[in-house]
Amino acid sequence: MRVALGVGGGIAAYKAAELARLLAERGAAVEVIMTAAAQQFVRPLTFAALTGRRVITALFPNEEADALTAAIEHIRVAQENDLLLVAPATADLMAKFARGIADDFLTTLYLAFRGPVLLAPAMNVNMWHHPATQENLGVLRARGHRIIGPGEGTLACGMAGPGRMAEPEEIAEIVFAALSRRRDLEGETVLVTAGPTREALDPVRYLSNRSSGKMGYALAQAALERGAEVILISGPVHLAPPAGAKVVRVETAVEMRRAVLEHLEPATIIVKAAAVADYHVARVPSHKLKKTAARISLELEPTPDILAELGQKKGDRLLIGFAAETENLREEARRKLASKNCDMIVANLVGPEGAAFESDDNEVVLALATGEFIEVPRASKREIADRIFDEALKLRLALHASR
C-alpha cells in the first residue's frame, strides 16, 4: 500500500508528522510532498526520518543534473501511489485543487493523480465558513473526494469553532479503510444516468427540475474506484465528469432514452439516478413565445418512461431506480419498485422536509426486491453511493440464491 501524503502550510503540519509515522508503522509506504509554506512549520528532515524516504519539497530541484527527472516526477508519483492524502489541506490548497491551478509539485500531482483523494482541512473558523471555501468544498466533494473533518475546538489563533485538523489516528483509520476496499465491481459494466433533462417550450425556454447530478456522478465515481467500467449518461450539469468514465451528454428525455438503449447491451448494473422530466410540450413552436397580457395554456405529453422500459428489458441485469418524494416515502418506493420491475429503489425526500436536490449530502431509504427496507442515515453522496453498491451486490446474491 502506497500513500502520497501532501502537507500544506499551517500549524497542523505538526500533526502530519504523527500521521506519517502511524501510516508507516502499519505498513504503508509513505511518500511526503511538502509545500513551501509547510516547510516553515516542520522541516523535511522530520518526515524523511519517519518514512525512510526522500521528501519532495519543490517542483524543480536545484541540481541541474536532476532536471529531466524532475520534469516528469509528478507523473511518477501519481502512477506509483494508491491514494493521495492531503493533511493539512489549507484553504489555499483546496481552492487550487478546485480550480485546477498547478503552480507547485503538490497541485501538479493532484491534476495527474487518478486514484482516491482524501483531504483533511485545517484553517481558521472564519476561513472555513467563508462562501469561497464552502464552494470549493462542494466542487471537491462532487469529484468524489473524501473530506475528513475538520473538528471543532479552540484553534491556534485563539478562536473556537470548526477548523481543527482531524486527529492522526482517525485519518489513518480512514486511509486504511479506503486502501483495503475490495475492487468488487471488476468485470462489471455500470450504466449510470445523472442530472436533469430539459424539455423545450420554445427556442429559448425549457421545463426542467432542480437536480444537480451530484448523486449520479458520485455513483459513477464509486463504481470506477471499485473496478467497474462506467458509462455515464448525463443531462445538463455543471460538474466535471469522473476520469475514466465514458460520458454521453444528452438534453431531453427522448435523447436520454435513445442513449440508454444504445449503451444497454454491455451493462450488467443499471443505476437510473437521473431526474427525467415527466412531461414535454407536444408541439414546440419554432419562434419565441412573446409575452402578452393574455393567459396561455401548454399542451403537455408524457415523456418516455425509461425506467419502466428497462424493467421489461433488463434480463439478468441489476436495475436500480430512484424516487424523489415529498411524502409517503416507503409507500411510494414500494409502489415504484413493483410497477417498474426494479431490483432496488433509492428513495429520498425532497422539498422542505428533505435536502436531496443540489446538496452535497443525502439520506435515503433503499427498497429491495426481497421486501426489505434499509435506512441509510445522512452522509455525503459519495458515501451514499458506496452504500448503494454494497447493498446491490448483496441483493444480487440473494436474488440468485432464491431462483
Within 13 A of 55's CA, how many CA atoms are on the CB side? Answer: 23
Overall CATH class of domain 189-402 = alpha beta
Q: Which three cell numbers stand for residue 93?
A: 490548497
Q: Which three cell numbers stand for residue 47?
A: 518526515
Q: Which residue has the cell 421545463?
A: 207
The predicted-structure confidence for 207-247, as pLDDT tens digits, reads as follows 888 889 999 999 998 999 888 999 999 999 988 888 789 99
Q: Which three cell numbers stand for residue 25?
A: 508503522
Beta carbons within 8 Å of 337's beta carbon, 6+ residues apart: 321, 344, 345, 367, 368, 369
Which of 100, 94, 130, 73 lies closest to 10 in space, CA to CA?
Answer: 94
What pLDDT is stored for residue 355 in this prediction? 56
Three-state SS at 281: strand
The predicted-structure confidence for 305-356, as pLDDT tens digits, reads as follows 999 999 999 999 999 999 988 888 899 999 999 999 999 999 988 765 545 6
Whether residue 374 contacts residue 333, with contact meaning beta carbons closer than 8 Å, is answered with: no
Phi, psi for residue 273 in degrees, rounded to 5: -90, -5
The predicted-structure confidence for 100-139, as pLDDT tens digits, reads as follows 999 999 999 999 998 889 999 999 898 999 999 999 998 8
The predicted-structure confidence for 133-190, as pLDDT tens digits, reads as follows 999 998 898 787 889 988 777 656 666 677 789 999 999 988 988 877 667 898 999 9
What pLDDT is stored for residue 351 in this prediction? 65
Question: End-to-end alpha-carbon separation of the chain, Å?
Answer: 40
Catalytic residue among 132, 156, 157, 159: 157
Identical topology for domains 2-180 and 189-402: yes
CA distances from 307 to 60, 99, 236, 251, 257 (A): 53, 36, 19, 17, 9
- Averaged over 94-98, what is the pLDDT? 96
Amino acid occupying residue 147:
I
> Which residues partner with 337 through β-bridges?
none
What pLDDT is stored for residue 306 in this prediction? 96
CA distances from 77 to 72, 82, 85 (A): 9, 10, 13
Three-state SS at 85: strand
Give CATH for domain 2-180: 3.40.50.1950
Q: Which three cell numbers stand for residue 154?
A: 479552540
The predicted-structure confidence for 275-306, as pLDDT tens digits, reads as follows 999 999 888 888 888 888 888 888 899 999 99
What pLDDT is stored for residue 65 in this prediction? 46
CA torsion angle for 177, 180, 185, 186 (degrees, to 10)? 150
**Torsion sign (Cα): 62, 63, 68, 74:** negative
Any catalytic annotation for residue 157? yes
Question: Percentage of the chain surpassing pLDDT 90?
Answer: 59
- Average model confidence (pLDDT) for the chain? 89
What pLDDT is stored for residue 345 in this prediction? 97
- Averaged over 383-395, what is the pLDDT? 92
The predicted-structure confidence for 32-77, as pLDDT tens digits, reads as follows 999 999 999 999 999 999 999 999 998 876 555 455 555 577 788 8
**Domain spans, the chain:** 2-180, 189-402
